[in-house]
Amino acid sequence: MTNTIVCGMQWGDEGKGKIVDLICPAFEVVVRYQGGNNAGHTVKFGDSHFALHLVPSGILHPETQCVLGTGMVINPEVLFEELDGLSQAGVESEGRLFISDRAHVLLPLYADLDQAREVARGKGQIGTTARGIGPAYESKAARAGLRMIDLYAGDLETRTRNLLVRLEREIVDLGGQPVGHPARLADHMRLWRDKLGPYLCDTAKKINGWMDEKKNVLFEGAQGALLDLDHGTYPYVTSSNPTSGGACTGSGVPPTRIDGAIGVLKAYTTRVGGGPFVTELEEDAGEELRKRGNEFGTTTGRPRRCGWLDLVVARYSRMLNGVDTVALTKLDVLDDLDEIKVCVGYQVGGEVVKDLPAKLDDLEKAQPVYTTVKGWKQETVGIVDFDKLPDEAKEYISLIEDGVGAPVGLISTGPRREETIVRPETNLLELISGRDEVILSQRSAHATKAQSTD
């Protein structure tokens, strides 16, 4: 039995979607455990493309059960749109998708409040996707939110009115417009209830039951460790816990039932929105990397900030997540560079530090300490054998392994599913043993592009 977490090691957008899709056939169950429709991954299935923001990409594997866990905040309208799109392409979800009855409902007015707050912040904007994720988690923490099961409550209209009054007051104070009458919103939620009914259940009981049956469960994190509410670059973070600990609280599974964690690390660094970014490349250099890597958000379309790989961040993330295997993505984006810089420490207040500072001011003023390696100046796109990589690329990977403190077991050399190296000496091959003829097939019915999590 192997119950595994896939988590991002940077600020999201590491390519988790491809990695999950690649190893998914080894698992009977895929669980999303946090976040909402502020994350996204673009999936190709046959001749169709899907931009999925809530539904796990495992839904495209006919034998896989998918779960939206308790730790999520779910916008029903976005969910229905995704399910309709999948159905039109012949992918049915009923009987295979299970939604926690304890997950919180993301109401449209949360997005209105999110947008009003960002406008009011002016230059101090956090860079939220304005999808209402933060306000939804805020209501949850204040014990004022609505869970999926609460859509069936007899006092739904009263609870809706109380919530609406509180949120509208702040929206108006920030210069926004009133949303509408609570009775109309309650009627809308009753329609949601009817459509959601077949999917709702006690997902914690269901997941633990599958584990009792020795089924393999894959936990799919959205975003990345440096956006974690508790451990990220606060306040420029998300409102949930993308780190591996969030998989337990967000799904209802005890940590003793987790067997390992795969950390997804991009071969360079990107970030969306505000916040410190020590290795950021400005102007032409950053723009060139952005073009090479097609670094634009799936959810918002915003250009991502780009910079060199930061091993201070990666090492910190490996510790937080308990990563035992690294999946390195977008190596091919670096193919044409004469030289590549890697950050191995920060210059802060006259001294070199190797650990991520907690103080925001230190992060904003920190200067990167780089080591420079020679570029390989050869195309690596589509290489599936590690031995066929250029020597300089192998040296780059070795530098990452030494700096992170974990082996690189998988290397993505392109957006297609089959453009992947799986190294036999790592435990990742053990994870997918017996299924690699399915996983690595070049006749795959679908391929996944790198995940976006802004």
Final residue before a domain boundary, out of 199, 217, 236: 199
| Higher per-residue pLDDT: 185 or 37 | 37
Same domain, 228 and 282: yes
The H or E element containing residue 327 is strand 325-329
Same domain, 78 and 109: no
Q: Are 242 and 8 in contact (CB under 8 A)?
A: yes
Same domain, 158 and 178: yes
131 located within any domain? yes
Confidence of residue 430 (pLDDT cuts 50, 70, 90): low
Active-site residue, from 13, 324, 332, 454: 13
Final residue before a domain boundary, out of 171, 199, 227: 199
The H or E element containing residue 105 is strand 104-105
Same domain, 303 and 402: yes
* 259 residue type, one letter: D
Count how many domains the chain has.
2
Among the listed residues 194, 204, 198, the one whose alpha carbon sits nearest the alpha carbon of residue 151: 194
- Give 37's Cβ-side CA count (13 Å radius): 22
Task: Give the structural domain span for 151.
Answer: 104-199
Same domain, 187 and 333: no
Beta strands across the sheet bearing 48-52: 48-52, 41-45, 446-448
191: domain CATH number is 1.10.300.10
Confidence of residue 454 (pLDDT cuts 50, 70, 90): very low
What tokens does 338 get? 């004469």
* End-to-end Cα, the chain, rounded Å: 33
Same domain, 144 and 19: no
Taking the C-alpha atoms of residue 166 and residue 158, their distance in angstroms, rounded to an integer, is 13
Catalytic, 436? Answer: no
pLDDT of the residue at 159: 84
Residue 58 CB partners (closer than 8 Å, separation 6+): 20, 21, 24, 27, 29, 30, 64, 65, 66, 218, 220
The CB density around residue 201, as the number of other CB atoms within 10 Å, is: 14
In DSSP terms, 266 is beta-bridged to 329
* pLDDT over 70 percentage in the chain: 89
453 located within any domain? no
454 located within any domain? no
Give one DSSP letter per residue of 65-98, joined into a string. EEEE-TTBEE-HHHHHHHHHHHHHTT---TTTEE
255: domain CATH number is 3.90.170.10
Same domain, 34 and 92: yes
Helices 108-121, 133-141: axis angle to 10 degrees equals 110
Q: Are 349 and 357 in contact (CB under 8 A)?
A: no
pTM, two decimal places: 0.90
* Residue 343 DSSP SS3: strand
pLDDT digits 0-9 by tens, 28-58: 999 999 999 987 777 666 667 778 899 998 8
Whole-number Cα distances in Å, 213 to 26, 202, 208, 239: 15, 17, 9, 33
pLDDT of the residue at 446: 39
Catalytic, 41? Answer: yes
Active-site residue, from 41, 61, 104, 446: 41
370 located within any domain? yes
318 located within any domain? yes
Same domain, 206 and 256: yes
| Lowest-pLDDT range of 289-293, 328-332, 427-431 | 427-431
For 424-453, what is the HEC assignment? Answer: CCCHHHHHCCCCHHHHCCCCCCEEECCCEC
Final residue before a domain boundary, out of 199, 216, 243: 199
Work out the average pLDDT over 168-190. Answer: 77
Same domain, 398 and 289: yes
Same domain, 259 and 167: no
Q: Are 448 and 57 in contact (CB under 8 A)?
A: yes
335 located within any domain? yes
| Higher per-residue pLDDT: 8 or 89 | 8
374 located within any domain? yes
Same domain, 391 and 331: yes
Q: Are 31 and 69 in contact (CB under 8 A)?
A: yes
Same domain, 195 and 209: no
